[in-house]
Amino acid sequence: RVRVFLWLLVRNRLLTNKEQVRRGAIKRYSWAYMMDNNWKLPTSGWVKVNLDGSVSHCNLRVTVGGVAKGPRSGWLVGFRMVTSMAYIFMVEAQVMLEGLNLAWDQGFRQVELESDNALLIEAIQNGLAAASNVDEVKMIHNYYSKTWQVKFRHI
């Protein structure tokens, strides 16, 4: 899967969010997903950062965000940003980078990051992020290499 993704990325053949939804490749997301009662608390000493996005076909905007939750204290901090349509992978990489940046800036040093982009998580865990031609993915690799513990979890 990673090879196919890299092949598509190099040849500029990744689909936009709008095209992926039109083809049924992805579903529409909502902020309610991040507030789902099934979201499990992190292990003691860890902070869980959950990331997600929502596509609006009316105004061609993508809203992405994340929340950090502690083992006892509930919601710690969150972020949200709106951007224009782009390749879904790049949007997911941007939200992951923002989540890592938020966690680092808040001083969290044991972070479990949850994302629904299995391909991005696989690229990071397999060391392919360092060689990516997507700047956000390279920056994710740089964050991942800092002095802290980060676990990526596909949800």
End-to-end CA separation in angstroms for the chain:
18
The residue-averaged pLDDT of 53-58 equals 71
Predicted confidence at residue 135, as pLDDT, reads 84
pLDDT band at 30 (very low <50, low <70, confident <90, very high): very low
What architecture does CATH give domain 2-154? Answer: 2-Layer Sandwich (3.30)
Q: Could you tell me which residues come within 8 angstroms of residue 100 by beta carbon, excluding any fewer than 6 positions away?
A: 49, 111, 113, 140, 143, 144, 150
Q: Is the pLDDT of residue 46 over 70?
A: yes
The DSSP line for 73-124 is TEEEEEEEEEEE--BHHHHHHHHHHHHHHHHHHTT--EEEEEES-HHHHHHH
Predicted confidence at residue 33, as pLDDT, reads 42
Q: Is the pLDDT of residue 103 over 90?
A: yes
**Average pLDDT across the chain, whole number:** 78
The residue-averaged pLDDT of 9-33 equals 53
Is the pTM higher than 0.75? The answer reads no
CA distances from 146 to 88, 136, 139, 140, 151 (A): 26, 16, 11, 10, 13
**Percentage above 90 pLDDT, the chain:** 21
Q: Where are the domains of the chain?
A: 2-154
Distance, in Å, from the CA atom of 131 to the CA atom of 114, rounded to the nearest integer, reads: 23
Q: Is the pLDDT of residue 13 over 50?
A: yes
Q: Is the pLDDT of residue 125 over 70?
A: yes
Q: Is the pLDDT of residue 35 over 70?
A: no
User: Which tens digits make up the pLDDT trace of 63-82?
Assistant: 888 889 888 767 888 888 88
- Ordered strands of the 110-115 beta sheet: 74-84, 61-70, 47-56, 110-115, 149-154
Q: Could you tell me which residue, 144 or 23, shows the higher pLDDT?
A: 144
User: Which tens digits make up the pLDDT trace of 77-98?
Assistant: 888 888 776 677 788 888 899 9
